Amino acid sequence: MKLIFYGGARSVTGANYLLDTGTVKMLVDCGLNQGTKYAEDLNYQPFDYKPEEIKYVFITHSHIDHIGRLPKLYKDGFRGTVCATTATRDLMVVALPDNMKQIQREAEENRHPPLFEQKDLDGLMSLVQGVNYYEPIDLGGGVKVIFHDAGHILGSALVEVQWQEATGGTKKIFFSGDLGNSPTPLLRPTDAIGGADYVVVESAYGDRAHETHEKGKEKLISVIENTIKRGGVLMIPSFAVERTQELLFELNELFSAKGGSASGGNISRVPRVPVFIDSPLAIKMTAVYRQHPEYFNKETVHLIKSGDDVFDFPGLKMTATTEESKAINDIPPPKIIIAGSGMSQGGRILHHEIRYLPDPKSAILFVAYQVDGSLGRRIQKGEKEVKIFGQSVPVNCHVENLSGFSAHADQPGLLKWIAGSKQGGKKPEKVFVVQGEETAAKTLANLIRDNLGINAVAPQTGENFEL
């Protein structure tokens, strides 16, 4: 078995890994490179393998940095099978067309052909099969693939690949995809792994620890209350998948009635103000979440069965159309606007940032990882003036960060998960650390070697290993 890293090596985005059994070539993920202009230009480069030779693609989850180049793979000759959980498949149906619109817009602005076209997307989706957790997929020749729950977003999966050696023994490699920051309000915890011979693990937060979810929740309350007191607008750039739904879940609890007042009315944990989900994509993704309660944890399922709509609360308005989005401006502060994109690289959040970044009464709250080079990262790092749509915009508002709501495992969580791979005294032969900036990946690899006694490496793009 040969493993080759074609994307996601010393980079957060662009996950793309090839396994070659000698008779079958398969990919784990085929994601878009995001962040800097250099990273985005990489998407247009030819694949370093022949797409027509790939028989299977196994998808860990529906984020664009894991699925975004799949239509290009089809365009360049791939006609194999794409396997994803049923929820991931349903999220892909929404995510990929939205991404195509952005790609076409960018192509028009820069006067070059788009990365792919509608016919490529349609062809790709005709190859996607939905699978369930824990059901073996037999590829023949002694090779099996099993999906486990990654706890990251709806339908996210750890990909286990088993194969028979010439000596008759069985070996296993696990691909983490993105690991969840368990426990989360909505999803089940990340599955433990055992008996792994090799592990490919993400490292987005490989060099740092998150604040606890409880502390994150208290900080969310504090930011909301302080922004309301100032009479400002709270902007939250948010990914359409998981982060928006988790925020809705938390705000549902905060804004819903929690007890009776002396006057006989109801009170909530924070003052009620208008809340807008200003993202057509997030609205569609939330609808997919509603369709798949089987992926939720027991507590959330109980709430739903008791009649609580965990994605709705008093004062919430979802603005799907352009006209509805523009009408948000007519609503006086204080108010909360949740809009994409999560790293302020596009979408409706940019229009709100132009309007409210200069306002010292307002605030912007980052609740997700901000890739180096992204607008969100530059604001987060403290730049006092940024350009949006070619316009210079001063940053006078409050800039807040909330790591407790991250959908990624932090350094302690990653180390704990890797430690769990040692079963019955057996430890993996090697751990490959990917999907992190170079410093984060190398830091985690060093800790795995030093603290867990497991050989670990942060591979470079194009590097290959015999397993």
Positions of the chain with pLDDT lower than 50, given as ranges: 259-265
Q: Residue 394: how many CA atoms within 13 Å on its side-chain side? A: 6
CA 303 to CA 251: how far, in whole Å? 15
pLDDT for the residue numbered 66? 97
CATH of 2-208+407-466, one of 3.90.226.30, 3.40.50.620, 3.60.20.10, 3.60.15.10: 3.60.15.10
Domain with CATH 3.40.50.10890 in the chain: 213-257+267-401
Cis peptide before 113 (omega within 30 of 0): no
Instruction: Give ranges for CATH 3.60.15.10 in the chain.
Output: 2-208+407-466
- The residue written with tokens 């800790």 in the block is 447
Please, are residues 435 and 8 in contact by the beta-carbon 8 Å criterion? yes
* Sequence-ordered strand ranges (E) for 150-306: 157-164, 170-175, 198-202, 233-237, 259-260, 266-267, 275-277
Measured distance CA(65)–CA(47) in Å, rounded? 16
Predicted TM-score of the model (pTM)? 0.91
Domain 213-257+267-401 is in which class?
Answer: alpha beta
* Residue 364 pLDDT: 98
What pLDDT score was predicted for residue 261?
34
Residues 6 or more apart whose CB falls under 8 angstroms from that of 355 comprise 329
How far, in Å, are 29, 236, 369 from residue 324 at the CA level?
36, 18, 28
Strand order in the sheet with 137-140: 137-140, 143-149, 157-164, 170-175, 198-202, 430-434, 456-457
Q: What is the pLDDT, as a whole number, of residue 107?
A: 87
Say what the pLDDT of residue 154 is. 97
Distance of CA 277 to the CA centre of its chain: 18
pLDDT value, residue 21: 94
Q: Where are the beta strands (DSSP E) in 191-345?
A: 198-202, 233-237, 259-260, 266-267, 275-277, 316-318, 335-339
